[in-house]
Structure 1
């Protein structure tokens, strides 16, 4: 404000002096005009100096000036120096990020909001076959054309990674993970999991082979045990009790082998092999009958059919998954509990729920319930004949049907196991209108 006042008084002084000089020649207006003109010429020269400095030598020292122009030049110069430092710091940070990305063994690819390639590290060239001079600006789906990747990219739901073979080498297995950041931009990371994939395949083959090999001796063993059990009255009481225990353990081993073989098949077989229309009410009625037989009258088991939709899927797999949930409710909810098998509409499509008012589950266990052999109470699970694979089977069946499992439970407040099926798996239930 002080500089503006100084400029005002400078203009007033110049105009006043030249006006008085004009009075001497009887031309005060000409003197005033000349004073204002001189003042404008001075400022135009300063503007020219500013333009020349900004255009040709903005990184050098500013022009010499006094008053308000000197203040402007000094402020711009300080601002330029601050901006240069900020830019240098940003360039240094960006260079460190790029250097660290170059040092990574995983592929890192930066995509703009349209999905076009902006930058990638050298690992991406090796894994994905990207080429610096010809691929920059290309859309990512032009280079990774696998239908599953295109669907994954367009879906914009990147909570889970996607496993695919490398687009340039079918022998390499890559795990892709997309992340949204900034102004709807994406960061694509790809990791080589070939070794882990092979180890997992070896594990699956081992479990499948061992389970298959165990099936024959177990069948022979249980057959002889059944034969001996038919003549249990001829045996000493102590031997008869031992025979009963052996039958129970052999049956438990058979259940375990059957579940292992089921899991192996679900993991190896391609999904959607069967796309039949499955009417849910008859399915739930059959499962209700089996659950009542398992309960032996110790539970109240009811149906609640609220939806008129049917499912597209594999009826055997769906029956296996829902049976596991219903049988778990019978085994672990406690005697005298009420169990409801419910089929209802859901915002995502439809939901099949198994609800009980039993002992419930501590929420700390819920994230791990679908892990193989994970048990909330190992002693109780063993006593009830559980294999620890039931919920793992449920999870794999639902994945093969594009569905998800939701679990809601608290101690002493019962539990709800909800299978949510998407709209694309829904069809009109003809049996409901028959």
Structure 2
């Protein structure tokens, strides 16, 4: 570390500098005038060094300091060392800020910082996407100019942020956001908003599931309870009453058993508990069997046309494949009026895959229902589906089975014309003989 000169040393240096001027003045009998000349020279030299300093500080800030001697060398060196320290500190702060911003950008939630007057200080990219901000254009604008929901404004004004607040995204009203506000630093607050749309949908599905299962089980249980009470009240029930009661209770028991089995199947599919047994499924034979069962189901009131390639097999679980095919074909038989046709095809594709199509000529399905058909217990016509023996779970089961085969259920329909249900099985599951 450079040793700084003391006041005594500085005084000695000035005396040494002026001494030659004094001696020359004594020689010419003008010591005062000579000392004044020496002082002027000293002042000019210091002024020159000061000019070098100003020029270096304002015009050549990135360069090394100019060469100098004496006390000015200490000044230049001291300023240069301070500049290096500040530059190093600034670089460290820049890296720290960059890391903070990168960390904030990597958050899975929208994040923003605002002042007490609700003006925006900073926001990440998700805040721009989910809340509609533009950065840095909106810096300094009030956040309530963008988040205008009255409930949110009231939440801000209360300044009681212990509980989170839920509100629809100003960018997309179908997206539900949950926000939390917490102190950031003096006079500043941070707002974190996350997308909870899927959580809300799951909660609603759970509520709907409980309500639907309760409703589905209530009817058969009510029927069975009614007949049991009737039989209990009669000492010796008549044969006709007993026969009817037995038939109805048996029918409702079968219905409940089928519902429970479908629920178990769906739960296993959703939880990925089904293991695809790699057996070679004879699709042609399977479809012919299901078509015959569908004819029996509809008392041979439909014309079922099959267009099937006989040597096109699927390497998969026969139980799952049968469930997918039968649900689609039985649905077509249930909702196609008597005397009309159902067309079923199973064809190879050029890419090595295979495509299944089930096209009926029924009443068709309104377009607003198509996107929800694969939801559990969803019915276009509640009474008609229940009367036909449908549980509202079949298409949901088909969707999950196809997902296990890297496929999706495609649905198209036209009212008073008919509906088409189709899917493509990728080449990795297809075996040709």
TM-score per shorter chain, which class? 0.3 to 0.5
Structure (1 or 2) with the greater helix fraction: 1
TM-score normalised by structure 1 residue count: 0.47
When Rg is computed on C-alpha atoms for both structures, the one with the higher figure is: 2
